[in-house]
Amino acid sequence: MAPRVLISDALSPAAVQIFKDRGIEVDFQPNLGKDKDKLAEIIGDYDGLAIRSATKVTPKILEKAARLKVVGRAGIGVDNVDIPASTARGVIVMNTPFGNSITTAEHAIAMMFALAREIPAADASTQAGKWEKNRFMGVELTAKTLGIIGCGNIGSIVADRALGLKMKVVAFDPFLSPERALDLGVEKVELDELLARADVITLHTPLTDKTRNVLSAEALAKTKKGVRIVNCARGGLVDEAALAEALKSGQVGGAAFDVFVTEPATENPLFGLPNVICTPHLGASTTEAQENVALQVAEQMSDYLLRGAISNAVNFPSITAEEAPKLKPFIELAEKLGSFAGQLTDTDIKTVRLTYEGAVAELKIKALTSAAVAGLLRPALADVNVVSAPSVAKERGIVVEEVTREVAGDFESLITLTVVTDKMERSVSGTVFADGRPRIVDIKGIKVDAEFAPSMIYVTNEDKPGFVGRFASLLGEAGVNIATFALGRDRQGGDAIALVEIDGRAPDEVLAKVQALPHVKQAKPLAF
């Protein structure tokens, strides 16, 4: 069945065409995002949801999204998507990190000019027939200092444009390296220094706990008198009430805002104040940017739904379309090794260690580890999947370790999963043969060669004569047909294991009888 995608915001129709061309059924309802009840009603029918900022992907929506595999944000900020809740439900969340950066940077520069020359007010006055030539005395931007808070993709483009305007640029961004600052031609400074020096401040950070109210009443009091402030990033970066007071007192000379604490902003403390310019979250609204992000999100979502390729996911490592087919059999192997250990582990897991040896160590092991952890936890938590597994493990205090080695000994690639509990440490290793089928090749240091099968019995016993005959007869007498039989032991007369594939499930009483056979330590059913 072809995957189905819902577009619930006003994306460029270019996205619709991409989905169709890729063979994906697409439903374009550009106003649906504003109607959360309707969205909740129908979201269960879709594998993918493509959005801009009007649709809110809340835990309530996700609860109803039984088929949903991917949310694609045609834009940068994903603050309208509950990422932890999406991750917990195994839904990949992707964005398009560069498609609207230039456009948004240009909006910030436009806002800065609009403030410097009071263009909106001058326009309104002129069109009202007033010709107030003496009222509008602007400021020149050349040689003024622009303070950029958040010098990432958009902040850097703003810096470049401002330098072209012959402004001096200072930037506050804890993650901006001195080398990058030098490259950009900006001076990296602490926030207080930026506040003290900037003639214009522009914000370009995401809204996080650290950046919320970065321009608070206290910070605004430290600015140069008459500073102009531009916010084309997110509402909440500036304390709106404090800014309103600072505008009234003249501490701040003007503010140009594209984003607001509450959106849609129908009322706001800034509205109506002199030299305040507002736009309705238009930063990304150009034909070019909207085409870019729509095409990109549709391609990315299609690649994931059709080929398992992941790019620009905020909650999962990237996997290219070339990597996806190489990873696929190893993802299956990792998940099955996890499942093997998970089905045999009853007590609390403290640590899970994944060792990747040989060619597999060169692949995206993060994805393999997530798959292994998903397999490990699934016997206890049915809902866990490759996307949600790392966060579920973290929540449960399970330490996940990864080790890579270049050489894999007998195999081109080997994955070993080791589980540590309070009582024991158990390891199982597997590989993928040329047929693409995953196999178990080592259990607790005992060599074995078995495929994973829908129904198996795993027996550990002492290596004594007669066990295999008794075991096989017992199954035969109970009408349980053996499909394959794999044996291994550490040494003659030492510890032995048997991995037996059977047709159908072994009844509990049969397993109890196997468990009761002489020299048997453990007999467990397994299903893959």
Instruction: Please give the DSSP secondary-structure letter assigned to residue 224.
Output: P
The yes-or-no answer on residue 107 being catalytic is no
If contact means CB under 5 to 8 A according to the sort of partner, which of ligand AKG, ligand NAI, none does residue 488 touch? none
Task: Determine if 374 is a binding residue for ligand AKG (CB under 6 A).
Answer: no
Distance CA 109, CA 90 (A): 39
Question: Rounded to the nearest whole angstrom, what is the least distance from the CB of residue 175 to ligand NAI in the complex?
Answer: 3
The yes-or-no answer on residue 218 being catalytic is no
End-to-end CA distance of the chain: 24
DSSP H stretches of helix in 172-285: 178-184, 191-197, 217-221, 240-249
Task: Determine if 101 is a binding residue for ligand AKG (CB under 6 A).
Answer: no
Stretch that binds ligand AKG, among 23-31, 218-226, 276-284, 515-523 (CB under 6 A): 276-284
Q: Which helix (H) or strand (E) holds 303?
A: helix 287-307
State the binding string over 64-83 for ligand AKG (x if CB under 6 A, else -). Answer: -----------xxx------
Q: Which residues of 39-73 are buried (b: 16+ CB within 10 A; e: fewer)?
A: bbeebeebbbbbbbbbbbbeebbbeebeebbbbbb
Instruction: Closer to ligand AKG by CB, 52 or 439: give it.
Output: 52
Contact 284, 108 (CB under 8 A): no
- Footprint on this chain of ligand NAI (rule: CB under 6 A): 75-77, 97, 100-101, 104, 149-155, 172-175, 204-206, 210-211, 232-234, 258-259, 281, 283-284
Q: Which two tokens stand for residue 317?
A: 């490592």
Instruction: Please give the DSSP secondary-structure letter assigned to residue 506.
Output: P
CA geometry: angle 363, 364, 370, nearest 5 deg: 130
If contact means CB under 5 to 8 A according to the sort of partner, which of ligand AKG, ligand NAI, none does residue 150 touch? ligand NAI
Residue of closest CB approach to ligand AKG? 75
Contact 467, 496 (CB under 8 A): yes
Question: How would you classify the pairing of strands 48-51 and 25-28?
Answer: unpaired
Catalytic residue among 263, 291, 323, 462: 263
Question: Rounded to the nearest whole angstrom, what is the least distance from the CB of residue 208 to ligand NAI in the complex?
Answer: 6
Catalytic residue among 281, 353, 378, 439: 281
If contact means CB under 5 to 8 A according to the sort of partner, which of ligand AKG, ligand NAI, none does residue 3 touch? none
Contact 427, 417 (CB under 8 A): yes
If contact means CB under 5 to 8 A according to the sort of partner, which of ligand AKG, ligand NAI, none does residue 144 touch? none
Instruction: Closer to ligand NAI by CB, 210 or 423: give it.
Output: 210
Residue 430: C-alpha distances to residues 349, 471, 524 (Å): 21, 25, 19
The yes-or-no answer on residue 263 being catalytic is yes
Question: Rounded to the nearest whole angstrom, what is the least distance from the CB of residue 149 to ligand NAI in the complex?
Answer: 5
Among 68, 94, 246, 284, binds ligand AKG (CB under 6 A): 284
Task: Determine if 231 is a binding residue for ligand AKG (CB under 6 A).
Answer: no
Distance CA 316, CA 7 (A): 22
Within 437-456, which residues bind ligand AKG (CB under 6 A)?
Answer: none
Q: Catalytic amino acids? A: 234, 263, 281
> What is the contact surface with ligand AKG in residues (CB under 6 A)?
52-53, 75-77, 100, 281, 283-285
